Chains A and B, each alone.
Chain A
Amino acid sequence: MKIVLNDEEIKNIIKTLAAEIVKRYKDLSQVALVGIHTNGVYIAKRLNEEIFILTGKKLNLGVVDITFYRDDIGLSDIIKLAKDTEINFDINGKEIILVDDVIYTGRTIRAAMEQILEIGRAKSITILALVDRGLRELPIYAEFVGKVIKTLPNQKIKVLLKEDNKLKKDKIVLYDE
């Protein structure tokens, strides 16, 4: 098992990504961060705090759960308990930043996009991920990426964030299955 990003590095990456968002969009009131359950939600919240420090403004914040939009139902006996999708702002005309911890095959993003498009007509959707591990199976591109890590399909990346763990520090680890 190898630590690919430690607490300090994750903190810096989130700061950098927040700055990139502020730089990229002219009107932040029209931008929304939508976190994908579960780590994406924590990351979106942290980004929003950083954006607040930089600009004194907070973005619209939303949450999507992709369970009912998955394309692999019936392929596994493991049930993932669905959580709630909460988009409490008008999605029409908004610039949506979909936030996830790791971007991999692109299937999660596809499912999240489908759901967002059903809720309303967003002006745009872009993707933010802490880690891009490559190996895409769909033509999906992440615009905001913290770190690119070349991986093999038999490897796993685990993102351990303070919000979800009893750990005192964040870390992202890479290991062979």
Chain B
Amino acid sequence: MTNKILFTKKHLLGLEDFTREEIKLILDTAKPFKNLFTRSIKKVPTLRGRSVVLLFYEASTRTRTSFELAAKRLSADTINIAVNVSSVKKGESLIDTAKTLESMKSDFIVIRHSYSGSPHILAKNVSSSIINAGDGFHEHPSQGLLDIYTVNEKKGRVAGLKVVIVGDILHSRVARSNLWGLTKLGAKVILCGPPTLIPKDVQKVSPSNIDIEYNLDKAIKDADVVNILRVQFERQMEHLFPSIREYSLLYGMNKERLSRAKNDVLILHPGPMNRGLEITSEVADSLNSVINEQVTNGIAVRMAILYLLSSVKE
């Protein structure tokens, strides 16, 4: 068995651009990083002297903290740019902000932005490695990777699994990254949600591996994994479903639905949860739930991402 693999990606913009082998390499690299967490010193000197700028134009606790911890555990320096107290407030453009950060010799820029494609613009204009931490309705690749890592860790495989993604697929970058990653690794994905929240062309990602089912009870029958998306109140301006109560009734994951699913079904949620809406507390805190594991795994996966991207020859 050879354990030397070629990896040439400089940026992580979306899982759409990553091959099956590259995704697998990230998952395999995350494993030894996760094992570090049980040591008293959780830090390795791997990225000593490198700097990681966290440029978040949208709210985030989980992702930003996770990237920051990942960078710190690799001994890199991190800088947080709080956009609402920075020059961005004075009207500085995205490219100018990024060019400034580049001039400060930042090796990585981790960016979250409400416009789809912002990380791609940065990748074209600055020399730092760009990591997409969520761009508009496009992708959130590190979340997709940590979801897949968690599934693989618990189930021992991804290929052949039946994964239901339920909720607001239309506005969900998490769903899109999951779709790319899961189908590349051979899982069968069933998208479930109100018809208004499932875009028509989404099956194009991998037509033979993606099904749409508007009825959650039918969707979760025989499912190995149910990934529950957050209802994004901040995005639904135009009332895409009649009422919260109806949504919860039709698409909320509750104890009763869980009891009809497979005994060993995994429940994932990218957080933050609206408890009582898309997921009840009983489900979120059940033995099937791996929501807290997802957070731990997120750090290991992000360490793997930073490590692999910086391994690329200049």
Contacts and interface: CB of A to CB of B under 8 A. Distances in A.
Contact of B41 (A67, A77, A82, A118): A118
Interface stretch (A21-29, A68-76, A141-149): A68-76
B311 A79 contact: yes
Contact of B32 (A38, A70, A75, A84): A84
Contacts of B35: 84-85
Contacts, number: 67
A79 B310 contact: no
Interface in B270-314: 307-308, 310-314
Interface of A: 38, 65, 67-70, 73-85, 114, 118-119
Interface in B11-70: 25, 28-29, 31-33, 35, 39-41, 44-47
A77 B7 contact: yes
Q: Which 9 A-B pairs have the closest CB atoms?
A: A68-B44, A82-B32, A81-B3, A68-B46, A79-B7, A77-B313, A79-B5, A78-B4, A118-B41
A73 B29 CA distance: 15
B6 interface: yes
Contact of B311 (A69, A74, A83, A84): A74
A45 B145 CA distance: 36
Residue in B28, B31, B44, B74 whose Cβ sees the most chain A Cβ within 10 Å: B44
A85 B33 CA distance: 10
B314 A73 contact: no
Given A67-B32, A68-B307, A74-B311, A80 B46 contact: no
Given A67-B32, A79-B308, A81-B3, A119 B41 contact: yes
Nearest to A86: B35
Contacts of B46: 68-70, 73
A75 B4 contact: no
Given A68-B44, A73-B47, A119-B39, A81 B310 contact: no
B215 interface: no
